[in-house]
Structure 1
């Protein structure tokens, strides 16, 4: 049962990390397409209303989160790979539809058209059922129920702390600024790093936190950016 709870909790964390609120990055199989769309798309109004990112500059977490959230609302969709407590999760999201899909070793979730669907590592898709006798299905259903009430843009906008631009790098063919800081969540703090483009596309994050005396490392890598994802109800 301990393993089940661990896996379900990691999956929930991975889903909320989609907006870049907790965690680092990579490249996907459709890299040429995502690179092209990300690099050729002109900067939107987000960057115009947000502070310019330069090495050594500091930015309040609330401002950083709002700028990330505003940019997120302008894209067609994205895919990401997350890792929490060593468990890898594939996730996809379409902001306009608030449609989300995650796949992990413990199970999968789809949120689409206001409905939630779950399935364990084996078995078929079913509608979320928090009262299921199967602890995995019940746990995934509870996670899906909680996440379905969260707008990822709103989650990003709730970011706190102060961040400093400590360097630059490259992600999905774009220059990114590396921002580091501490985030406070439910009385605990997490050392957090973001990789953000000049117009505030959050392409990678990572964090390290202490939870109940245990060190928790989380990371998120965007593999496709501004690419609409094919997320449909499984039944």
Structure 2
């Protein structure tokens, strides 16, 4: 049985989640790469970690389904010996003005982003070992209040509330709990449907004058999960180039 630290990363088949999984694998963690439907993408991440000498496996889970999430934690414990870090990067983003948003879409988004966060955090609170870390994902749009983002930002405001409360509920467990709130980040999900003018405008907003990259966000997650970041607790970390 491995004595290395073990991480579960949801949303690990693409974008920020995939980059976080690869970074933690490079840092020596055994990684469970959680995915909803993109099995090939998750397997590619596993293979990249293994190619670099790490240990990883893929696990399918609907984050809003407590049974499949529990099974994912069971797998981490049976294959790697326990769970030290949980990075909950899975999420859904549907954009429309409030007046136009289909309420079925609202419900589906909130099922993934709010209930899904609650389910993953609940398992993490029950199972993380002493010295562990829990990291969830919000968005800088909670503060920026871009038109069209109401449903998404509202769901991520709930993520922040859940995360900051569980940080306090885990008093005495030696587990740090934080939320990362990225700004505009060049992922497939973010770039989809945006024209070059929109992308250029968003890239010019931070004082650093570029979009974030998945590696920028993964670096923040790796810090929070590491011993160096353990004193950072109960915070929303806005990783956005200084946009707000």
Same fold by TM (over 0.5)? no
Which has more helix, going by share of residues? 2
* Higher relative contact order, chain-length normalized (CA < 8 Å, sep 6+): 1
